[in-house]
Structure 1
Amino acid sequence: MSPVLVGTVGLVLLLGLLLVRIPVAFAMFAVGFVGIWILNGLQAATGLLSSETFALASDSELIVVPLFILMGNVASVTGMSRRLYDAAYATIGQIRGGLASATVIGCGGFAALSGSSVASALTMGRTALAEMDRFDYSPRLSTGVVAAGGTLGILIPPSTGFVIYAILTEQSIGRLFMAGILPGILLLAAFLLTVTILCSIWPEMGPKGPATDMKEKGRAFLGAVPILVVVFITIGGIYTGYFSPTEAAGIGAGLVIIIGAFSGTLDLRSFWAAARSSIVTTASVMLILIAAHLINPFIALSHLPAEVSEMLVTLDLGFYGTLILILAIYLVLGCFLEGLAMLVLTLPIFMPVIMDLGVNPIWFGVLVVLTLEMGLISPPVGINVFIVKSVAKDVPLIDIFRGVMPFWFAMLACLIILLAVPQLSLWLPSMM
């Protein structure tokens, strides 16, 4: 059996395991280990498993993952994320569709804390859905805006998606974080515009909320100041070069713990809950990374990247044609696979092609992560849709999917803009 055939069978088998809901890491471990065993022998497979596990577990750069996750979890249990929503709600909640717009802003703020789309959708779903239901918002709009707004968590730094991409492609985590800021703001603005358009055409979808006076607005904004300061210090410190992403993660986690302790919102029980959740999430991410470093050599040994590169050269689609085809593949895969699994599976195959084309890997990272976001709300899988469904149990799943589709097209428009104007992604990293 030729190496290419072994690689193809292995990838098909891996896709099958993922579709029947075998955990991503375990599926990749099995296929990668057996594949290397077949192509290079049992000793090579066992040696690589032990060496890669130790190398990744001892990589100091990966400390950024648990620290940023801990920062987001502590911000959630202490109510800091809720106060971001309250500030946005007090400012624009009284206009038509204002609660939905406040939810988008709240999701963006929480994304800057957690780096997790699932955590953003779950937290804001618990906070915002009840408020929008109380003011008779359309369930399609309310659930759609929470599911779509949650996707900001994978683009606005600190982003787990960028961390995984950086490790798999050996790019700078700090530059990827900076590259995600302007696209994240663009996407947030596109979501706000979508809410405005929907509520202008169908006013009954987003009735006006209660008016708030300046005193209430000031109180709500004052409550959000501590967490805004944390975000400014961590992201600003990376941009100015005062500290690395790992140091920024430690400073951010330390600051939210200190703020929570001094404000009386963080006790030992809630801190333990946040720390325990962070450990579980970090373990999941680490397992995926270790499995990725096992399956990547298998894909390389199978010569699949060279075959795919040769095929794309034969198609002669040119620079943008090849890039758009690769992103289209991500869009299709996003309908069936979880985002991190897609990164691990596809980057070893597509990165050699991207580098041969002369595509800036930082720009490509932003495009890929945005495409992964679209997969989070694409049927039939749409992880964020199912997260929102777990909170809004009385809303039919089909209505949630219908609610997110306008936001999906807004994301597609942003992807086209970023394709046409690469400097939106590359300007801030170039200024670091």
Structure 2
Amino acid sequence: MYANPETGMVGIAALVALLLLGVPIGAALGLIGILGLIVVIGFEPALIKAGVTTVETLTRYELGTLPLFILMAQLFFSANASRDLFDVAAKFLGHRRGGLAYASVAGCAGFGAINGSSLATAATIGMVALPEMRRRGYSDALATGTVAAGGTLGQMIPPSGALIVFGIIAEQSIGKLFTAAIIPGLTQALFYALVIWLLMRVRPDLAPASERATWSERWRALRRVADMLLLISFVIGGIAVGLFSPSEAAAVGAAGALAIAAWRKRLNRTMLFTAFDETLRTSGMILLVVIGALIFSVFVSVTGLAEAIGDAVTGLGLGPMATLVVVAILLLLLGSVLDGLALMLLTTPILLPVVTATGMSPIWFGIFLVRAMEIGFVHPPLGMNLYVIQGVAKDVSIARVFKGVAPFLASDLVHLFLLILFPALVMWLPGYLGQ
């Protein structure tokens, strides 16, 4: 009686209401999913289905990828990775006008490859880069906007926690998602560098040139990060060429990070316990979110909402390109009021069938969705990265941060549109490597 799209819409409205009231996303997804299943299929079948989904999720082999990559990030963080990565970029680029802004983007890309979180990347690089840029006379708007935008690279540059979660929910290859994200991640960073270059051409007073580092200083800085960069390249390259699976790569990365921390004499009982504690806390939170999302996805599937939306969009006769533009606009609108993970978990079960009906790959949609999520991190009014940066630079108004990120937000929109126009930006590398 209640297995209809209208019930699904009521469930989504209730979920959004809970999220806006501040209920944790994992709890909100699981609660609405179970209550919805009780209404649609009955009390006992709903509990059985929720239990089966939970057990099947927790026993999936690829789920081990997530805590191991988080442990790798925590160990690198303890080894001063963020400061070293920014320092090497600053030594090579800092003498150019806007050089420290370029260095911030490069530092965010490097730390994003270690950390996989936009908020953590923005906060960590911000604490290192913002004081240095402001000390050297950089505009507050440029400094904060650069780091806020650069922080979003943490979600795209593999290994990415968002891509792992999407792979689990959509039942897609995590290794293929990582490989597909390489070119979009690099082009995103290049777009940010182009924005800085254009700003320097129009307003050179925003960022004065700094002193040039000597080559000996540059090589010393590079040697401090060589071990980390080699490990990251080996892990991501190993996944791309099929040397090992994502779970095996995560184990190699965690073991390598442990060895690097020991080599740098940063390994001790306190540091190790802190890394384990943060890993368990973060992994537990994400696992709760994933389980809740999968239960909610079952509810949406049972109501037939995804099929109804797909039929409605197809019935408009827009064509593949226009359909994808509509999907992009919808994601951007939702991303302005929902946090990134909520956006992914809410829209994946509904929009994935719509996108695949246009002939696009689920892998492409995963990259596209994460890219839209990233824009949400710097899109007012929510824009979590903007508030994180404002928290680091407390004397800079949030309006000033909004102004600084605006040119980067414009480049994000262009980049997102290019992913629609040229799907090969996503799909070429996995196809070339035979994945």
> How does the TM-score come out when normalised to structure 1?
0.98
Query: 1:84, 1:50 → 2: CA distance?
Result: 44
Indicate the residue corresponding to 1:375 in structure 2: 376
One-letter code of the match for 2:327? I
One-letter code of the match for 1:405? A
Query: 2:379, 2:373 → 1: CA distance?
Result: 10
Secondary structure of 1:166's counterpart equals helix
Note if 1:264 corresponds to 2:265. Answer: yes
Query: 1:306, 1:54 → 2: CA distance?
Result: 27
Query: 1:232, 1:176 → 2: CA distance?
Result: 16
Note if 1:276 corresponds to 2:298. Answer: no
Note if 1:327 corresponds to 2:365. Answer: no
Kept in 1: contact 2:172–2:363 (CA 8 A): yes
Query: 1:41, 1:27 → 2: CA distance?
Result: 20
One-letter code of the match for 2:95? Q
Indicate the residue corresponding to 1:127 in structure 2: 128
Q: Residue 79 of structure 1: CA displacement?
A: 0.7
Indicate the residue corresponding to 2:300 in structure 1: 299
One-letter code of the match for 2:92? T
Note if 1:109 corresponds to 2:105. Answer: no
Note if 1:13 corresponds to 2:7. Answer: no
User: How does 1:32-431 map onto structure 2 within 5 Å?
Assistant: 32-431=33-432
Kept in 1: contact 2:78–2:261 (CA 8 A): no
Structure 1 residue runs of 4 or more that deviate by more than 4 Å after TM superposition: none
Indicate the residue corresponding to 1:25 in structure 2: 26
Matched length = 432
Q: Residue 337 of structure 1: CA displacement?
A: 0.7
One-letter code of the match for 1:322? T
Query: 2:20, 2:114 → 1: CA distance?
Result: 31
Query: 2:422, 2:358 → 1: CA distance?
Result: 17
One-letter code of the match for 1:241? G
Note the residue ranges of structure 2 that are not aligned, 5 or more in a row: none
Q: Residue 390 of structure 1: CA displacement?
A: 1.7
One-letter code of the match for 1:121? A
Q: Residue 421 of structure 1: CA displacement?
A: 1.6
Query: 2:10, 2:417 → 1: CA distance?
Result: 34
Q: Residue 354 of structure 1: CA displacement?
A: 2.0
Q: Residue 65 of structure 1: CA displacement?
A: 0.5
Secondary structure of 1:43's counterpart equals helix
Secondary structure of 2:152's counterpart equals helix
Q: Residue 283 of structure 1: CA displacement?
A: 0.9
Q: Residue 363 of structure 1: CA displacement?
A: 1.6
Q: Residue 357 of structure 1: CA displacement?
A: 2.0
> How does the TM-score come out when normalised to structure 2?
0.97
Query: 1:380, 1:274 → 2: CA distance?
Result: 33
Kept in 1: contact 2:79–2:264 (CA 8 A): no
Q: Residue 328 of structure 1: CA displacement?
A: 1.0
Q: Residue 49 of structure 1: CA displacement?
A: 2.2
String of CA shifts for 1:101-151, please: whole Å, max 9, x gaps.
Answer: 100000000111111111111110111111111112111111111110000
One-letter code of the match for 1:76? F
Query: 2:302, 2:58 → 1: CA distance?
Result: 24
Kept in 2: contact 1:76–1:123 (CA 8 A): no
String of CA shifts for 1:324-376, please: whole Å, max 9, x gaps.
Answer: 11111101100011111111111111122222222112122211111111011
Q: Residue 231 of structure 1: CA displacement?
A: 0.9
Q: Residue 385 of structure 1: CA displacement?
A: 1.0
Query: 1:66, 1:389 → 2: CA distance?
Result: 29
Secondary structure of 1:136's counterpart equals coil
Kept in 1: contact 2:324–2:420 (CA 8 A): no
Kept in 2: contact 1:155–1:184 (CA 8 A): yes
Query: 1:22, 1:113 → 2: CA distance?
Result: 29
Note the residue ranges of structure 1 that are not aligned, 5 or more in a row: none
Query: 1:28, 1:410 → 2: CA distance?
Result: 33
The percent identity for this pair of structures is 38
Kept in 2: contact 1:104–1:146 (CA 8 A): yes
Secondary structure of 1:180's counterpart equals helix
Query: 2:281, 2:340 → 1: CA distance?
Result: 18
- Which one is further off, 104-113 or 55-64? 55-64
One-letter code of the match for 1:231? I
Query: 1:200, 1:329 → 2: CA distance?
Result: 34
Query: 1:428, 1:81 → 2: CA distance?
Result: 28
Kept in 2: contact 1:76–1:82 (CA 8 A): no
